[in-house]
Each structure stands twice: as C-alpha cells, then as structure tokens.
Structure 1
C-alpha cells in the first residue's frame, strides 16, 4: 500500500470521525477539522490518487496557467479545462450585460431542478463559447482578477511596480539553495476583495537538502474530496518541475491545511472511496526543458496510472 495515498485516506477518516459540523460560505455545510499535515515522498511515485481516477491533464493545464501568470479562463477552455468556469460565469450573470433566465444560486438549483439544470447548461455553453470566440467578451468576463497566476508572477507593490515571485524563487534556489526564504505567497490582503475566489493555497516554501528539493504548502481551506487531490498533485508537479530546472531531485511535498473539510454532499462519495484499496502510484515523465516558463501541456506525462473509477460529486461555488 502506498504511504503517500494512505496519508490522504487517513485525513478522510479523521474528518469523518472527528469533524465538526460547520456552516460555510456556500451554504452546503461541512464536516471540518482545523490543522492537519500530510507528507508525500516523491521518490515513492507521483502522488496522484488511485482510489479514484483524478484527471491529470486538468491538473497540468491549470498549473501551467498559474505558471504563465494568466488569470483568464480562455487558456483553460482551450485545453478543455472547465474547473474555473463557475466563478467566471457568476461574474457574467451578475452583470448588466446578462439578459438570460434567472441563474441565481445556480450551483444548488441545478442539483435539485432538472428543468433549471437544462437552462443552466445552455447558458454555460453559451458563455464558454463566447469566451473562446469573442475577444472583448473574454476580456470582460473571462478574467478572474488577481488570482494565483497574478500573485505568483505580478505581485503589485505600493510603489506601483510588480514582483515576479516565482521567477525570483527559482533564481534564489539556484544561487542560494540553503536560504530559508524560498517563499511564494498568493495571499495579498489588498487584492482579496477583487478575486473571484480568495486563494485557498496561500503560501508555499521550498527547502533544499542532500541534492533534493522539497516543498511545503500552507492551505487555508481544503475541500478534501474534490480540491485536495488536485492540490497534492499540482504542488508535487510544481516541485518536480522546479527541481528539474535547478538540477535537483524531487524530495518531499508537505501539505499543511488549516480548515480541512468534507462537504455534506460529498460524505457518501468519501465513504465509497474509503472502501477501495490503493494501487501502485504512477510515474511522472517530463521532457527536457531549460525553464519551467517554456513548458507546455504535451511536455508532461504520467505513466502506469491504473486507478479505480472516478467518483462524481457536485462542486460548491
């Protein structure tokens, strides 16, 4: 059994057994614990969960979207990635430009009302098609504000300048590997009000030892069933990419979560997942590159990934 995957399954069990019932922003309700840490040795295999299928290509395109400093969902849609659609769609339906049927509380209503779900899917299709084909519309409604890509690559300073945190931290790893300041933060209090979703993964730090690069993420809020599997794989991939550029081996990914929660409408899915036995972890294959900023989706592959079937669950918006 993979120790890496077991760390995630142990978190699921802990929250089911010890979690506090809490209201939340989405009005869905959660079981939650505060403060949890998992460790993943990247030498044991790439930590992409096997107890349910996790869509690796979506993780890749989302991470490259962050790395590019992009904040517009057009790039994601061009890569058939729809995981940020709801937040951009919400911006459109709340604008004066929207003339369609009432989409208020679409996240909950589409789960309970089949007729409304059909209307919602029609409006979402119209929205995504316009993002892909209409430059002005994409500029107005596809951008999510100062989310991860912006904070990583274009942090705004009080002097009206910007800081490329990701580029600077890579340079720092190369030039001063034992520094304790290899840090990138996405939590900018001034920009939080303008973000479609304030950063859940707020800060990460790199650590070099014995020729290996490790990364620790602090995540303020973790949707254990849908979000956390993505976060584990995404930051493990980021660590491997930066390690390759810096001529280091991947070390550990350490995942520290503040509010670790299972949504009320994900509990049955988590219980189903816990009945499954983990399989061998897959292997990550990276093509050669000089800079992570030049990496494309086709440069990243996963091998020997044979997971259990996917388990569907609604996203809380």
Structure 2
C-alpha cells in the first residue's frame, strides 16, 4: 500500500472525525485541523495517491509553469491544456504578482541551484512566494508558499509549507508535484532525492467534498503500490526539463473522484 494513501487518509479521517466546522472566504464551510504533516523518504517511494486518480501530468505542467517558466501568465498554462488557474485569471491574462512571478523577481531558483553547488551545507536555502509587499496584487495569495532545502549525506531534503490546504483537491496535487520537484533539483545538482516533508497549517475539507472523501476512505484497504518516478537522465539543467521528461512508471489507481474547486 502506498505510504501517500496511508498518511493522507489518516489526516482525512481525523478531520472528518475531529475537525472544527467553520465558514471562510469562499462561502463553502469546511471541517479543519491545524498543523497536519506528511513525511516521505523519496529514495524509497514516490508519494502519489492510488485510492483516487491524481492528474500527475497536469501537476507537472503547473509546476514547470511556476518554477521553470516562472510565469504568472495563465495563457501559457492554457496553451498546455491546463485550466486549473482559469478561475483566477485577470483580464490581462495573469494572476497578478503571484507564484512564478515571485521566483523570477528575485531569481530565487537560480540562487537555490547556485547554493546547492557552492554551499550545500547552508541553512539559508529557502524559496518563498510570500512577498508581503506584493500580496495585495495577487488574485490568489500562494497556498503552498515556501520550501526549505537541506543537503545531508548526498541527499536533497525539502520541507514544503502550505498555509492553506484543500485536502480533497489541492493537497494530493501539491504533494506529488513538489516530490517531483525534489527529484528534479536533486538530479541537476548531482544529488539523490531524500526526505520530503509536507506541512499544512490549515488542513481543511470543504463541506461539498465530504461524500467523495468518505468514498475514498472506503477504498483504503484496496490501495495499490506506489509507482516509480522516472526522469530523463540526460537532463542536467533544470531549465531543460519538459513534461515528457518526467513520467510515472506503473501508476495504477482506483479511479477518479469528482470534486468542485472552491473559489
């Protein structure tokens, strides 16, 4: 059974059994628990759910849009047949000064890659999308907003901090894409992927997702083995990755579960 399913479904069960019920800005009430954590050894397993389908290729395209293209232009995503940001697109085609814009603004990825080469024992390897000055000019302030990086014994470790986590839709997507990011950055830095920790400050389940997630919980004992992530070994520069260079081998799942995104 995939460790992603084990850890994720435990959080889902805890929220449904013990979560605090409250309203929020979206108008759709949630059940929530603070400070939920999942942790994976990426050398042993790739964390993606098997108890429901996770759109891995879509997740990878969004990841490259943020980290490689360092873009805030939704039209670039639409050109890749990805529509996950359509609800937040402004008339100018952008999401304001959010996500990839902040990586580009301060050359944060380039700085991280440089530190991994020149000072891998630095304790200051942080990429943050939470720029207080620019927050008012974002159509959605970043949810998965910060990564902290560490190199130990030739392995690249990463902690992803998420201020707000839609457990039904967003979190499975974010876990898979950031685990892939660790593998990608490790490869181009001459390292192995190590520990990946996903911290969610406000882990919530929207009221209209409860039925689908209860169905997923019923699949718990049918969970399958985790797939294997394959990267094109020829890629030595992060900016050379394409979606075709990042694949899952043996990804089997128990089918889609329909949930509506809360805007």
Question: Greater helix percent: which structure?
Answer: 1
Contact 1:4 1:41 in 2 (8 A): no
Supply the distance in 2 between the matched residues of 1:199 and 1:263 (Cα, whole angstroms). Answer: 19
Q: Which runs of 5+ in 1 are unaligned?
A: 93-139, 155-162
Tell me which residue corresponds to 2:217.
274
Q: In structure 2, the residue corresponding to 1:52 is in which secondary structure?
A: coil
> 1:76-225 maps to which residues of 2 (within 5 A)?
76-88=77-89, 91-92=90-91, 140=92, 142-154=93-105, 163-225=106-168
Contact 1:33 1:261 in 2 (8 A): yes
Q: In structure 1, the residue corresponding to 2:101 is in which secondary structure?
A: helix
What do residues 218-240 of structure 1 show as CA deviations (whole Å, max 9, x unaligned)?
Answer: 11000001000011011101100
Contact 2:46 2:229 in 1 (8 A): yes
Tell me which residue corresponds to 1:32.
32
Tell me which residue corresponds to 1:231.
174
Supply the distance in 1 between the matched residues of 2:178 and 2:197 (Cα, whole angstroms). Answer: 9
Structure 1 stretches of 4+ with a deviation exceeding 3 A read none
Supply the distance in 2 between the matched residues of 1:294 and 1:14 (Cα, whole angstroms). Answer: 41
Q: Which runs of 5+ in 2 are unaligned?
A: none
Post-superposition offset of 1:192: 0.8
Post-superposition offset of 1:44: 2.5
Supply the distance in 1 between the matched residues of 2:54 and 2:2 (Cα, whole angstroms). Answer: 16
Contact 2:156 2:192 in 1 (8 A): yes
Note the aligned Cα RMSD (angstroms): 1.0
Contact 1:153 1:167 in 2 (8 A): no
Supply the distance in 1 between the matched residues of 2:127 and 2:5 (Cα, whole angstroms). Answer: 26
Contact 2:2 2:47 in 1 (8 A): no
Q: TM-score, normalised by structure 1?
A: 0.80
Is the counterpart of residue 289 in structure 1 residue 253 in structure 2? no
Is the counterpart of residue 309 in structure 1 residue 260 in structure 2? no
What do residues 128-178 of structure 1 show as CA deviations (whole Å, max 9, x unaligned)?
Answer: xxxxxxxxxxxx2x1111111011121xxxxxxxx2011101110111111
Is the counterpart of residue 73 in structure 1 residue 16 in structure 2? no
The higher radius of gyration belongs to 1
Supply the distance in 1 between the matched residues of 2:165 and 2:17 (Cα, whole angstroms). Answer: 17
